[in-house]
Amino acid sequence: MASILKVDKIRVTGADSDSISFDGSGNITFNKTASGAGMNVIVQNDTTGGTANEIAFDLSMDTSYIFQRFIITGMYSSHTNDLYARTRRASDNSYFTGSNSYGWAYRYVTNGGTGGSGSNGATYGRFCGHGMGNVIGEISTYIVDVYNNAVSGSGKETTLHWQRYGISGSDVYCNEDGHLMETATTTTNQFKLYSSAGGGSTITYDGYVHYGFKRS
């Protein structure tokens, strides 16, 4: 016969506060830093989403993270154009916009064919190369991994690797994979996405979860 242990908090002997707490619905809150091989920590959980000309994602400056991951759901645009990305310099909160700020490359596979492109010097990084869906029935999910944003120096340039799964419009099913790398060697505290259509174009998303991954 199975036993049931009912508690609302767990505290280690000698500790001055609870390590783990539970609410009435069974949700768990970790009040202390967890450790162990391959541990990940939820940095932010946005469950509301929104619509804007640009959507920005803050990066943690915790140097203990090997990389940070964003899972962004329910994305579509007001236009079927591609998405662009830029990163923000931590020292003065300005975006890298120079003519040689980024290198990028991507590949896509659709039910109609394959393709891809790249650049070794651009004012933006490409985050979609086959167009976005522009209605709520043509959504995409993005997985974005960010490396080296909290460190600086040669060989430690901030790099974003992205994967996209969704619909590009007119029921074109699309998988894309790409990355962008800053040419600068300074620290970065944010990245933003916007439509290549410019003007009053918008991006809508359901929400995202931001994880930080540590070795231990």
Overall number of domains in the chain: 2
Cβ-contact 70, 143 below 8 angstroms: yes
pLDDT for position 168 = 85
* Judgement on whether residues 15 and 121 belong to the same structural domain of the protein: no
* Judgement on whether residues 24 and 58 belong to the same structural domain of the protein: no
Cβ-contact 111, 89 below 8 angstroms: no
* Judgement on whether residues 158 and 183 belong to the same structural domain of the protein: yes
* Judgement on whether residues 139 and 185 belong to the same structural domain of the protein: yes
* Judgement on whether residues 28 and 41 belong to the same structural domain of the protein: no
**Cα angle for residues 112, 116, 119 (degrees, 5° grid):** 160
* Judgement on whether residues 181 and 197 belong to the same structural domain of the protein: yes
Q: What is the pLDDT of residues 101-115, one digit of tens each?
A: 999 999 999 988 899
* Judgement on whether residues 90 and 26 belong to the same structural domain of the protein: no
* Judgement on whether residues 112 and 168 belong to the same structural domain of the protein: yes
Which domain, by its residues, includes 20? 1-32
pLDDT for position 129 = 85
Q: How many CB atoms lie within 10 A of CB 15?
A: 11
Q: What is the mean pLDDT of residues 92-104?
A: 95
From CA 116, how far away is CA 107, in angstroms rounded?
4
* Judgement on whether residues 188 and 120 belong to the same structural domain of the protein: yes
pLDDT band at 37 (very low <50, low <70, confident <90, very high): very low
From CA 124, how far away is CA 83, in angstroms rounded?
10
pLDDT band at 13 (very low <50, low <70, confident <90, very high): confident
* Judgement on whether residues 7 and 105 belong to the same structural domain of the protein: no
With a CB cutoff of 8 Å and minimum separation 6, the contacts of 152 are 185, 186, 187
Q: What is the pLDDT of residues 145-184, one digit of tens each?
A: 999 999 999 999 999 999 999 988 766 899 999 999 999 9
Q: How many CB atoms lie within 10 A of CB 43?
A: 17
With a CB cutoff of 8 Å and minimum separation 6, the contacts of 59 are 68, 146, 149, 150, 188, 189, 190, 191
Residue-wise over 46-66: b if at least 16 C-beta within 10 A, else e? beeeeeeeebebebbeeeebe
* Judgement on whether residues 202 and 144 belong to the same structural domain of the protein: yes
